[in-house]
Chains A and B, each alone.
Chain A
Amino acid sequence: MYIRFYLPLLLALLAAPAAATPNIEHWHTANGARVYFVPTRELPMVDIKLVFDGGSARDKNLPGLARFTNSMLQEGAGPYDADAIAERLAMLGAELSTESARDMASVRLRVLSDPVVRDQAVELMQWIVGKPAFAPDTLRRVRGQLLVELQEEQQSPSDVATRTFYANAFEDHPYSLPPSGTEASISAIQRADVQRFHQRYYVSQNVVVVIVGDLDRAQAELLATRVVDRLPEGAPASELPTAPLIEASTNRSIDFPSAQTHIFVGQPALSRLDDDYYAFYVGNHILGGGDFVSLLFEEIRERRGLAYSVGSDIAPMRAEGPFIMRLQTRSEKAGEAVELMRTLLIRFVNEGPTAEQLAAAKKNITGGFPLRIDSNRNIMSYVAMIGFYGLPLDYLSTFNGRIDAITADDVRRVFARHIHPQRLVTVMVGPESSSGNHELGATKASIPANGASSISERRH
């Protein structure tokens, strides 16, 4: 299906009735796992997510190790081989998936709340997270799978641009490493590496357990205890270093046989734990985060027809995550587009939002609040984020109040603090001819790059 816009999942306003905000219950299991539970009794189903601080930020000298480890979990564990796990999940009507990004490595289960079905599924999950087999033949198969996925990335200009952006923006920081690894590292990773990684990070002191669904507190406590039962206690992952800013802006162009040039402009910006997040979020919404009401959207798509998808994102993480502006345009327009994007950023950093822009953004963000938490899946996403980063349990109920309190000065202040126009990373992936335009444009404009990109999940 073809869809008109990429839609960021945000928005919304309206002071939501307090009762509509989910009540998050929180406790620790005996072996130290942090548990977050939201009962929702309307549908006979349960969502369970285990989030480990074991993403690619922990890869060290073996890029892709976290992804490799995570991908091996459901390929055999305890008494079950990969076929048995797959067949049992199917018999239970359960859905299990694994995922690993920069901060988080997770395992998610969706299952009917019927006790017989649920208990069987939780038993499988116990083995999968606690006692994966990492069998050598399976390791070879998964390696092949990961290598093909790397090749797929290499034929996507957007994926190439993403990888290049992180490598350039984060230099020696762990976030510079691609979660999918490199051909060399994926080929080099051995069983012992995967086992070591699992032993270090898949431990009860390093996991957040999120449960949303048709359970009472006692059932949820029992379930949480069981699901982490086979994890050693271990220790929390260590602190991540602060993401350094590069010394001066850089431009990197990669020749690619595509019709469009993909452009990313941005830099490391702020951590999820930074109180500046709210003002930055509002500012970014105005600049390029809003669906189709944003400065970037208006100037680049609506007024000039330069791109189908254009916007900016802030992806706050444990350490400073990136702010990225992003678009793709026919290659002969790449120079014009990148210059425009930079100019709009500089102007926004200098001038901040108008009163009208600020009011409209706040109405949109707060008025759409009920949409953020209208399903178990959405509640799960927020609670996982709250739990993983240790945000206050009243995060959701105080969200609208915090947004409403933001002033234009707040936005200007946090953009000035976190965006450094002399330290922006620009990446352009497209036919060689377009990069010439781009360099020329940058020279003439004497404007450093800025940018927005596609880090966060977007709905189409």
Chain B
Amino acid sequence: MFDWWDGVYKRIIAHALATAFGLGTPMVFAKEASPVQEFMLENGLKLIVKEDRRAPVVVSQVWYKVGSGYEYSGITGISHMLEHMMFKGTDELAPGEFSRIIAAQGGTENAFTSYDYTAYFQELEKSRLEVSFKLEADRMRDLRLSSDVLALEKQVVMEERRLRTDDDPQSLTLEHFRAVAFKNSPYRNPVIGWMTDIENYQINDLQSWYRQWYAPNNAVVVVVGDVDPAQVKALADKHFGKLAAVELDDIKPRREVSQFGPQRMTVSRPAKVPYLLLGYQAPSLATTEVGWEPYALIVLAAIFDGNEGSRFGKTLRRGQQLAAQLMVDYGLYDRKSTLFMIAGYPTPGTGVDVLETAVLGEVARAQRELVTDEELDRIKIQVVAEDVYAGDSMFYQAMQLGQLEAVGLGWQRRDEFVDRVKAVTAEQVQAVANKYLVEQGLTVAVLEPKAMQDQEAASHNRQDPDVH
């Protein structure tokens, strides 16, 4: 590295970090991130409000603490199925009417289900927040579940599963990989559910799942936008406040059992590109016994693949040219213990075994040698910058708050993140690499492509004129 650059580089780090943490510099962080306000309704519903006055818009999200990570064998995917049914009418509204009302208000809406939560959202012009609250409060307790509608919507979910998983060889490999990596943890089941379970949901299954989990004391409402928190609180009291709390069942811990050696599996499907998945058992922030370890793991993930200058890019994609794509995923905010995952595929002519050996070589290097100060500094600058960029999306801000609440960590963890990452040392990164990225907790999956027919030939043979 050139000397002149070294000087500039140090200056930027000092500059960016100092300004970001309010030590005063020309870098104007004009408006302090506006404070988050938290309210607890008497029925146990938590309301989180963040003012963001950049645009006359509001994002409203309702998070339920239920997802596939709460499910049992035989009904996998039922949280997601219920998410679909939530648009199918209540005692007040006909099926689809929810969506028509939001559309008439110019709103955008959707919902999503994950391992740890199910969430529903609307984005609206700011004066229309009450429409969202009224409709969400209605379907929180008064959903009308019918067998006929379920029969039809099951077909939709089966199509969704075919689209997302069955016809996507990488996605299918990931699904089977998780089923092997986890033994007792419910994270072994796919969010969308196994096809046989989807086919066999009964209306009673949906009824009891809804009654069990959809209640104000199992919900968090997050609002970000051009709003007044006190007014939002009043609206929440008016619409959600009248709902009765229910008694929530205890949640069994279902802790993942120890793994006693590496596991290896193969998925053979029609495909063109092989795919490699490695996963190491690791604690999440919610399950760790040592507070800094999850942050050291997230830094380690970034050392490998946080940006194009990280090790995988520099060494495996550009240097040795073994990887065409390689990414790292670590579930810092998962409710249950998680995986530190590395996934990717090789360059043409490179065997997937060669790529695996090279990845394991990088893991060994992280265990053997301390990461450099420069690598750490780059990651710290990156989290500072990303924290600023996050302000550009109200939806993303709401997502961060809602997710942390849904997994029980609390939204305050968001504000700690930059400082906690900043505090991670090279020694800590090395320590977690040696503690968690070990063969005993490793699962490896490989997608072995099975031949597909030659599409060019197939299509040429079957071109035919219109027959109408």
Can you name 10 extra interface pairs (CB under 8 A) apart from A2-B191, A82-B318, A306-B155?
Answer: A43-B391, A89-B307, A91-B309, A92-B12, A147-B348, A254-B458, A259-B162, A373-B55, A377-B393, A447-B468
Which of the 9-residue segments B213-221, B268-276, B327-335, B404-412 touches chain A? B268-276
Q: List 8 A-B contacts (CB under 8 A).
A: A2-B164, A114-B26, A151-B272, A155-B273, A328-B162, A365-B106, A368-B108, A375-B392
Tell me whether A369 is interfacial, beta carbon within 8 Å: yes
CB of B316 to closest CB in A, whole Å: 12
Tell me whether A340 is interfacial, beta carbon within 8 Å: no
Tell me whether B96 is interfacial, beta carbon within 8 Å: yes
- Which A residue sits closest to B31, measured CB to CB? A42
Given A44-B29, A90-B308, A305-B155, does the pair A364, B114 have CB atoms closer than 8 Å?
no
Instruction: List chain A residues, Cβ under 8 A from B308.
Output: 74, 85-86, 89-90
Instruction: List chain B residues, Cβ under 8 A from A456.
Output: none
Instruction: List chain B residues, Cβ under 8 A from A253.
Output: 459, 462
Docked complex Cα distance between A50 and B376 (Å) = 31
Docked complex Cα distance between A112 and B324 (Å) = 30
Instruction: List chain A residues, Cβ under 8 A from B307.
Output: 86, 89-90
Which of the 9-residue segments B80-88, B175-183, B234-242, B420-428 touches chain A? B80-88
* Binary contact readout B281-324 vs A (1 if CB under 8 angstroms, 0 otherwise): 00000000000000000000000001111100110001001001
Tell me whether A95 is interfacial, beta carbon within 8 Å: yes
Instruction: List chain B residues, Cβ under 8 A from A3.
Output: 110-113
Tell me whether B159 is interfacial, beta carbon within 8 Å: yes
Instruction: List chain B residues, Cβ under 8 A from A147.
Output: 348
Are B271 and A2 interface neighbours, CB within 8 A?
no
Tell me whether A407 is interfacial, beta carbon within 8 Å: no
Instruction: List chain A residues, Cβ under 8 A from B19.
Output: 114
CB of B338 to closest CB in A, whole Å: 15
Are A93 and B385 interface neighbours, CB within 8 A?
yes
Q: Identify the A interface with B (CB < 8 A).
A: 1-5, 7, 9, 11-14, 16-17, 20, 40-45, 74, 82-83, 85-95, 110-117, 120, 141, 144-145, 147-149, 151-152, 154-157, 160, 164, 214, 248-260, 290-293, 298, 301-309, 328-330, 360, 363-371, 373-377, 435, 439, 442-443, 445-449, 460
CB of A447 to closest CB in B, whole Å: 6
Docked complex Cα distance between A447 and B119 (Å) = 42
CB of A115 to closest CB in B, whole Å: 7
* Binary contact readout B78-120 vs A (1 if CB under 8 angstroms, 0 otherwise): 0010011001000000011001100111111111111000000
Are A91 and B56 interface neighbours, CB within 8 A?
no
Tell me whether B168 is interfacial, beta carbon within 8 Å: yes
* Binary contact readout B424-468 vs A (1 if CB under 8 angstroms, 0 otherwise): 000000000000000000000000010011010011001111111
Are A93 and B125 interface neighbours, CB within 8 A?
no
Are A11 and B103 interface neighbours, CB within 8 A?
yes
Docked complex Cα distance between A151 and B337 (Å) = 35
Tell me whether B160 is interfacial, beta carbon within 8 Å: yes
Contact of A16 among B26, B56, B347, B381 (CB under 8 A): B56
Instruction: List chain B residues, Cβ under 8 A from A303.
Output: 152
CB of A133 to closest CB in B, whole Å: 14
CB of A331 to closest CB in B, whole Å: 10
For chain B, which range describes its interface: under 10, 10 to 19, 20 to 34, or 35 or more residues? 35 or more
Contact of B55 among A86, A114, A375 (CB under 8 A): A375
Are B152 and A364 interface neighbours, CB within 8 A?
no
Docked complex Cα distance between A112 and B15 (Å) = 11
Instruction: List chain B residues, Cβ under 8 A from A40.
Output: 54
Docked complex Cα distance between A17 and B348 (Å) = 55
Instruction: List chain B residues, Cβ under 8 A from A260.
Output: 159, 162-163, 167
Given A93-B16, A255-B458, does the pair A308, B273 have CB atoms closer than 8 Å?
no
Are B462 and A1 interface neighbours, CB within 8 A?
no
Docked complex Cα distance between A376 and B388 (Å) = 12
Instruction: List chain B residues, Cβ under 8 A from A254.
Output: 455, 458-459, 462
CB of A145 to closest CB in B, whole Å: 6
CB of B92 to closest CB in A, whole Å: 18
- Which A residue sits closest to B126, measured CB to CB? A370
Are A442 and B466 interface neighbours, CB within 8 A?
yes
Given A44-B29, A293-B100, does the pair A250, B465 have CB atoms closer than 8 Å?
yes
Instruction: List chain A residues, Cβ under 8 A from B159.
Output: 260, 305-308, 328-330
Docked complex Cα distance between A25 and B166 (Å) = 49
CB of B11 to closest CB in A, whole Å: 7
Interface of A is mostly: mixed
Q: Which of A2, A141, A329, A460 has the most CB of B within 10 A?
A: A2
- Which A residue sits closest to B192, measured CB to CB? A2
Instruction: List chain A residues, Cβ under 8 A from B169.
Output: 155
Are B452 and A44 interface neighbours, CB within 8 A?
no
Q: Identify the B interface with A (CB < 8 A).
A: 5, 8-9, 11-13, 15-16, 19, 26-31, 54-57, 80, 83-84, 87, 95-96, 99-100, 103-114, 123-126, 152-160, 162-164, 166-169, 191-192, 270-273, 306-310, 313-314, 318, 321, 324-325, 345, 347-349, 377-378, 381-382, 384-386, 388-389, 391-394, 449, 452-453, 455, 458-459, 462-468
Are B87 and A1 interface neighbours, CB within 8 A?
no
- Which B residue sits closest to A367, measured CB to CB? B106
Are A1 and B113 interface neighbours, CB within 8 A?
yes
- Which B residue sits closest to A302, measured CB to CB? B96
Docked complex Cα distance between A149 and B384 (Å) = 32
Given A112-B27, A145-B347, A360-B100, does the pair A248, B466 have CB atoms closer than 8 Å?
yes
Are B16 and A156 interface neighbours, CB within 8 A?
no
CB of B100 to closest CB in A, whole Å: 5
Docked complex Cα distance between A74 and B309 (Å) = 12
Are B80 and A93 interface neighbours, CB within 8 A?
no
Docked complex Cα distance between A20 and B126 (Å) = 12
Docked complex Cα distance between A197 and B226 (Å) = 47
Are B108 and A291 interface neighbours, CB within 8 A?
yes
Are A448 and B466 interface neighbours, CB within 8 A?
yes
Docked complex Cα distance between A368 and B125 (Å) = 7
Are B163 and A114 interface neighbours, CB within 8 A?
no
Docked complex Cα distance between A446 and B56 (Å) = 50
Are B462 and A255 interface neighbours, CB within 8 A?
yes
CB of B253 to closest CB in A, whole Å: 24
Instruction: List chain B residues, Cβ under 8 A from A85.
Output: 308
CB of A19 to closest CB in B, whole Å: 9
CB of B82 to closest CB in A, whole Å: 11
Are A45 and B125 interface neighbours, CB within 8 A?
no
Contact of A2 among B5, B80, B99, B124 (CB under 8 A): B80
Are B464 and A20 interface neighbours, CB within 8 A?
no
Docked complex Cα distance between A377 and B395 (Å) = 13
Are A93 and B382 interface neighbours, CB within 8 A?
yes
Are B112 and A4 interface neighbours, CB within 8 A?
yes
Are B382 and A90 interface neighbours, CB within 8 A?
yes
- Which A residue sits closest to B193, measured CB to CB? A2
- Which B residue sits closest to A17, measured CB to CB? B56
Are B466 and A370 interface neighbours, CB within 8 A?
no
Docked complex Cα distance between A239 and B384 (Å) = 45
Given A1-B113, A2-B191, A114-B15, does the pair A44, B28 have CB atoms closer than 8 Å?
yes
Instruction: List chain A residues, Cβ under 8 A from B155.
Output: 305-306
